[in-house]
Structures are given as C-alpha cells and as structure tokens.
Amino acid sequence: MPAHDAVEVILAKRDKHELSDSQIDWVIDAYTRGEVADEQMSALAMAILLNGMNRSEIARWTGAMIASGERMDFSTLSRPTADKHSTGGVGDKITLPLAPLVAACGVAVPQLSGRGLGHTGGTLDKLESIPGWRAALSNEEMFAILEDVGAVICAAGDGLAPADKKLYALRDVTGTVEAIPLIASSIMSKKIAEGTGALVLDVKVGSGAFMKDLTTARELAETMVALGTDAGVHTVALLTDMATPLGLTAGNAIEVAESVEVLAGGGPADVVELTLALAREMLAGAGVTDIDPADKLADGSAMDAWKAMIRAQGGDPDAAMPEAKESHVVAAPATGTLTRLDAMAVGLAAWRLGAGRARKEDPVQAGAGVVWHARPGDEVTEGEPLFTLLTDEPERFDRALASLEGGYDIGDGSAYTPGEIVLDRIG
C-alpha cells in the first residue's frame, strides 16, 4: 500500500494546504515511474499555479526532482567551477563569449544548455551552425574538456533530473508554464544536480522575456537564489533588460559571428557590458577576485579558449558560417532617432524566418534571422537600411515583416533616455 495517492495530494494543494515532505517525495517519484498519470500531475500543477508554494515546499520539490536522477561532481577538477543560466531572451548570445572568457580567467564552466522554443533562441542551436560542432557529450568527454580547456557547452544528459524533463513537457501543454515554484524548481533542479560550485542567474525582464515586469522577475530570482543557497551553491541573480534585444543580431549563425566579434575585442557595447558583468559575478562566486575579465578579451586569451572549446567538441572555429539563401532589406521610413526597438517583435520575426521552432522536434535554419542596423539612441536616415531579414525560404518574409510592424519607433532624440542593462542584483 503506497504512503499516499495522487488525489489526496491534488486536494491538499487545491485547498491551499502546505504539502508535506513525504507527499512531495512520493508524488515526484511516482510520476517519474509512471504511477501518477499525466492528467493527475496536470491538476496538481494547476493547483500550484493558482495557490503557490512556500519556500520549504519549493526546496523539497526541487530536492525530489534532483533525487529522480544522477548528480554530477566536479570536485576532482583542478580548478573551481561556475555556471550561468539565462531565463531566455532575443539576441541573447551571452553564453557563447562568456564561457570561454571565464575559462580564460581560470574557472571551469560546465554549461549545460538548451534549444530554442518560440521567439527565444537556444544556445545549442546557435553552436550547431558551426560545421562539425556537437552538443551531445558523455560525462567522461565533458570532464576531459573541462580539465583541458576549462569550458564546455553541451546538452544535458537524460540522467539529470528526469522528473523535470517529464514535468516540463506537461507544463508546456497545460497552461502551467508560468507557475513560479515550477519554473524555479525546473531550472534549479538541473543546475544543482549538475554540481557546479557557483551559479549566476540572468533573469530577463521585459517584452522579449518570460517575465514581463520587475515584480515577477524579482520573485523568481529570489526564489531561485534561495534554492541554490539552501543547497550549498553560491548563487546570485542579475535582473537584466529584455525590452530591447541584445546586440545587433537574432538568429543562429549570425549570433555566433557577433559573439566572435566580442571575443576579438569588439562587438556591440551592450553584449560586452552584460558578458563582463556576468563574468565578474561568476569569478567572484568561484573565489577569483584578482583577475579582470576585460583584460582577457583584450589580450586574446578568451578567443584562444573559444577556439579550443569549439575544436574539443568537433567544430571548426575557422570554418565559413552558413548563410541564408535569401535576404530582404527594410528601409527606415523616416529620419530621426530610433527611440524603441521591441524585443518580442524582433524575436517573432527571427522565429518566423526559420531561426526558431514552434515544437521541440522542428528543425531550424542555421542562416536565418534578423540583423538590425541601429539600436535605440542611434540616428537613422529615411531610406537607409534599418533591418535585414535572412531566410532560405522567401515565402517567410511576409509574416516576419508583419511581426516587425509597430515594433519600433523613430522620433525626437532629445526625448530618448537610455536604460540600464543590469536592473538589479539579488544575492
């Protein structure tokens, strides 16, 4: 006779009661084994969305998800470890320059990343546009690359928090994605199970982010920092702006090219600023306080680490990148200052051009995406290029153009005030 049953647990949360440790342990284990049906877990997820969970419930839920699979241990590496997680945005290529940059500073970065879904891009999709590069590594390969190169960006294995993989797919189709306890436990179960010593969370805020306002973003950040801290992982969160897309590109191959510019000491100022801010947090979390990561961009050592990391995963860092077969230029309709560029509009356009996917099994185009030729605050001239749209399938242009309509403003520059990229720090 099992200790609990699914209906009992659903009713407890439906009626706003705190779930006991044994109820949480049982329901996660039973769901992972298939004893609790999808429709029962859907009902529980909706009850959690509507009625919430307290800190001890979320911690126990996260612990039960970790316990559903394996835990990695990097304590045998010759250097400390730090990792970063972004909640996802448009033009968010920060992981690409960040991992080798932190590695160049002497801290190992075991970066388990994901693929894009909808308007937010996926790190693995971007890297897979590099000829030969592969995302799937065994644990042995991962450890060897971390010891040799200091950075690895790869897909999480099936053994890490399998309960989360099952529950994540269910939340996606049951309207329960937005439940903060479930978002926090989903992210943190994988990151804690991964075994990193320090973790920096980049929680995006704004139109192109999952969290549209500072209040909910801060709640998510505080919940995740508490989970990491309780698990003994040095955890901090930066709340960062995603009202405007990062850099000048949204796509796969074009974002890799922009990341390489940053590693070469150039690149868009906002991408460089956020990369350095996150690098400094990661280094501090790992106990390295005497190295300025900006020096490693300037002296070429971050670029050396990038090339070594790409080669170690089968890629050719010097190969020509894939290019889209078709392009379409959108001219500026007026002369003035670009005062607004909406991240969601740009993200949807890139997705509709083929850079993203609607379902996790869909293919993506390596060369597709959007290039914008000005950022908010820049002067634009009527008739000059404002956007370049890239795709292999020209029939995609119309829907991409529709998503950009109303997605930007050109006006009087005297009324424009630049915003901060880093909005707050939690931890």
Residues annotated as catalytic are: 85, 164, 171, 186, 190
What does the alpha-carbon distance between residue 66 and residue 159 come to, in Å, rounded to a whole number? Answer: 10
Q: Which two three-digit tokens encode residue 125?
A: 């999709």
What's the Cα-to-Cα distance from 322 to each of 251, 266, 357, rounded to whole Å?
Answer: 12, 22, 18
- Residue 290 neighbours by CB under 8 Å, 6+ apart: none
Give the residue from 328, 329, 408 showing the smallest Cα distance to 376.
408
Angle between helices 269-285 and 253-263 (to 10 degrees): 70
Distance CA(13)–CA(4), nearest Å, equals 14
Grouping H, G, I as helix, E, B as strand and the rest as coil, residue 43 is: helix
Q: Cα separation of 204 and 186, whole Å?
A: 16
DSSP tag of 121: -
Tokens of 36: 């609790």
Does residue 370 contact residue 353 with C-beta atoms inside 8 Å?
A: yes
Closest CA to 88 of 58, 128, 115, 67: 115
Our CA angle for 189, 185, 347, nearest 5°, is: 100
Question: For the residues of 155-210, what is the DSSP string, one character each?
Answer: EPPTTS-HHHHHHHHHHHTTT-TT-HHHHHHHHHHHHHHHT-SEEEEEEEESTTSS
Local structure of residue 320 (DSSP, 8 states): P
Cα–Cα dist 313/316, whole Å = 9
Dig out the tokens for 152 from the structure. Answer: 């690895």
> Token pair of 359, please?
């379902």
CB atoms closer than 10 angstroms to residue 329:
12
Q: Are 64 and 25 in contact (CB under 8 A)?
A: yes
Distance CA 191, CA 250 (A): 26
The structure tokens listed for 250 are: 């949204």
Residues forming a β-bridge with 23: none
